[in-house]
Structure 1
Amino acid sequence: MRENIVRKAAELFLNLGFKSVTMDDIAQEMGISKKTIYVHFANKTKLVEAVTFELFEIICDGIDGICEASNNPIEELYDIKMFVMHHLKDEKSSPQFQLKKYYPKIYEVLKLKQFEKMHDSVKDSLKNGVDTGLFRSNINIDFISRMYFNGMTGIKDNSIFPQNIYNMNYLMESYLEYHLRAIVTEKGLETLNKFITSNQS
C-alpha cells in the first residue's frame, strides 16, 4: 500500500504541484480513506519527502542505464534529458521551484544528492568525450561539471525563466546545446550538428 500511495502522490504532485495537492485529494484518487495514508505517513511533509527521494532513485537508475548503453557523450546528454523530462512530466508544475518554496529542507537535501550524482556522472561523460576526441582536451573537467549542474539548476528558476515565456523542454534543449558548443572539438561539433538535425524536437 505504501508504494501505491507514493506512486499516486508522485503523479498528482508532478501534474498539479506539491502545494495544491492535499491528502484528501490523494485519498479520493485512490479510493481509500485519509486514515490509511496516515498509517504510512505521519503528515504531508513526510509523504513529499518519500515521493521526492523515490523519484530521485528512479531517475538515478535510469541515468546509469543510459550511460552504460550510450553511443557517445553527446547523445547521452540528450537521452538523459528526454528520460528526466518524461519522469518529471515535462516539469509542468515546476516541482523544483515548488519544493524550494514550500519544503526548503527537503529541497536542500535533494539538491545536494542531485549535485553528487550529476557531478560524478557528468565528469565521467566529459572524460569520455575528451578521450574520444569529441570534447577539447584542455577543458577543466571538474569546473565544467560544476558549471553544468549550476546551469541545469538555474534554468528551473521560475523567477528568471518564467514558464509563460519559456517551456522547460526549450530551456533544456537550448542549455544543452549552449553547454556542448562551448566544449566540443571540430569532430564533436560535426556529431552535435548531425544529432540536432536528425532529432529536431
Structure 2
Amino acid sequence: MTATTDSRDRRPRRTTRRRVADAGRKEELLRQAEDIILSEGFTAVTMDDLAQRLGCSKATLYSLAPTKEQLVLAVTRAFFRESAAEIERAVAAEPDPRQRIRVYLAGVGTAMRRHSHAFYDDMVGYEPTARIYRRNSETAASRVHELIDDGVRAGVFRAVNGQFAAQVVAVAIDSVQSGTLLDATGLTAGDAFSELGDLLIDGLSSA
C-alpha cells in the first residue's frame, strides 16, 4: 500500500515562537507610531509617512489598524490608559493622604510631557479623539474628588465641596494642556502642577 501525503501538511506552520515574534514586532511598531503621533500630531501625518519612517510596509502598518483614523484612536486610547496606570501606581505607593493629590497631579504633568501642543490641538479638534479626551478628563476630575474625600475622611482635609474643587482642577489641567495657562504665567507644565498641588493642599488642609 502506498502512503499518501495530505497536501495541507506541506503548508508552513506558524510556531508559537513566530506568533510571539510577530506580536512583539507589532507592539514595537505601535509604540513607535505612538511616539511620532504624540510628538507631531496626526493631521499632517499620512500612513505613507509612517510606513517609511517606521521602516515597514503599508501592509504591515495596516495590520496594526485598518485605517489611519483607527490607528489614531488606538494611539490616543493607549496614551491615556498607560498614563492612568502609571499615575495610579505612584498614588498607591504614597501613604500620606495629603500628598496623594500632589503625586496625582505630578503624574498628570509627567504624562503631558509625552505629547505636544500639536497633538493636543489635533485631539480636541477631531470628534472621536475629543470624546476620548473628555471621558478621561471626567475620570481625572472624579479621581481628584475621591482623593479629596479620602483626605477628609482621614481628617487631614477640611470638609469642602469636593466636586467643585475637582472641576477646578480639571479646568486647570485642560488650560495647561492647551498651553493657555503656561503662556499666561510663563510656567512649565511641571511647575504649574506643583503650584496647583500646593494650592490644593494649603486650601484643603484642616490644620
Q: TM-score, normalised by structure 1?
A: 0.75
How do 1:176-187 residues align onto structure 2 when only pairs under 5 Å count? 176-186=197-207
How many residue pairs match? The answer is 183
Amino acid at match of 2:148: L
**Conserved? CA contact 1:90–1:168, under 8 Å:** no
Change (3 A) 1:82 1:18: farther
How do 1:159-198 residues align onto structure 2 when only pairs under 5 Å count? 159=180, 161-162=182-183, 165-186=186-207
Q: Return the match for 1:61 from 85, 99, 108.
A: 85
Residues in 2 aligned to 1:133 and 1:164: alpha-carbon distance in whole angstroms? 33
Q: Return the match for 1:148 from 169, 172, 189.
A: 169
Residues in 2 aligned to 1:3 and 1:163: alpha-carbon distance in whole angstroms? 39
**Conserved? CA contact 1:94–1:156, under 8 Å:** no
How far apart are residue 86 of structure 1 and its match? Answer: 3.5
**Is 1:110 the counterpart of 2:133 in the alignment?**
yes
How do 1:32-181 residues align onto structure 2 when only pairs under 5 Å count? 32-93=56-117, 95-101=119-125, 103-115=126-138, 117-137=139-159, 139-159=160-180, 161-162=182-183, 165-181=186-202
Change (3 A) 1:164 1:136: closer
Q: Return 5+ residue gaps in structure 2 as ranges.
A: 1-24
How far apart are residue 90 of structure 1 and its match? Answer: 4.8
Q: Return the match for 1:28 from 39, 42, 52.
A: 52
Structure 2 SS opposite 1:46: helix
Q: Quote the RMSD (CA, aligned, Å).
A: 2.7
How far apart are residue 161 of structure 1 and its match? Answer: 4.1
Change (3 A) 1:162 1:48: farther
Structure 2 SS opposite 1:32: coil
Q: Return 5+ residue gaps in structure 1 as ranges.
A: 187-201
Residues in 1 aligned to 2:182 and 2:67: alpha-carbon distance in whole angstroms? 32
